[in-house]
């Protein structure tokens, strides 16, 4: 595993500095506090997906671009092994992205696992569409303030420009397979 994958906070700090931006400016533009950015950059906390997305938006990156950057390969792969999936989740939410090494792919596919009591955090927003199917467990999908309880076997389709979040309030693990297009997640 590369040093980058072990220290995402340090990578965020490097990106911010390459952009010539102070932590205070990044905080102002992202809506986060200066102390939150400092703590994240020191790798003292693992931010929720929604928090990381807010910060990356300021830096002009999507979640998939941020995490795929550290996993560049020599060329597109046809078969991707489970060990090669790219983890982009945190805090009890595992989001493992299928990535074949192509820099300009148009769809992102995720294998998601939500531990009991976990959530994606604040509402997530990005351009595009998302479809998914619950393979196991149950989850609460909230879109534009409206909650939709989903169980294994049910699917969803949403416009991801609308604020949305996923919360597992059950006592069991929830597993979802989802696809996002365009790949701006």
Domains, in order of start, for the chain: 3-67 (1.10.260.40), 76-181 (2.60.120.10)
Q: Which letter does DSSP use for residue 142 in this model?
A: E
Chain mean position to CA 64: 7
Residue 182 neighbours by CB distance under 10 Å: 14
Closest residue by Cα to residue 114 from 173, 65, 155: 173
Average pLDDT over residues 108-121: 92
Residues 72-108 pLDDT 10s? 555 677 888 888 887 778 788 988 888 777 766 778 8
**Pairing status of strand 146-151 against strand 138-143:** antiparallel
Rounded to two decimals, what is the model's pTM? 0.67
């Amino acid at each position: 595993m590369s040093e980058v994958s072990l220290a995402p906070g340090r990578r965020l700090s490097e990106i911010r500095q390459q952009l010539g931006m102070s932590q205070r400016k990044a905080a102002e533009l992202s809506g986060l506090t200066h102390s939150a950015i400092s703590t994240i950059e020191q790798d003292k906390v693992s931010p929720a997906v929604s928090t990381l997305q807010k910060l990356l938006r300021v830096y002009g990156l999507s979640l998939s671009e941020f995490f795929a950057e550290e996993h560049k390969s020599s060329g597109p792969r046809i078969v991707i092994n489970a060990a090669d999936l790219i983890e982009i989740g945190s805090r009890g939410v595992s989001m493992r992205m299928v990535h074949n090494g192509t820099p300009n792919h148009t769809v992102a596919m995720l294998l998601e696992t939500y531990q009991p009591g976990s959530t994606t955090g604040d509402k997530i927003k990005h351009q595009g569409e998302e479809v998914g199917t619950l393979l196991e467990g149950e989850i609460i999908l909230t879109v534009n303030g409206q909650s939709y309880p989903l169980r294994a076997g049910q699917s969803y389709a949403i416009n991801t420009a609308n604020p949305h979040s996923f919360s597992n309030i059950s006592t069991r693990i929830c597993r979802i397979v989802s696809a996002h297009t365009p790949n701006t997640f």
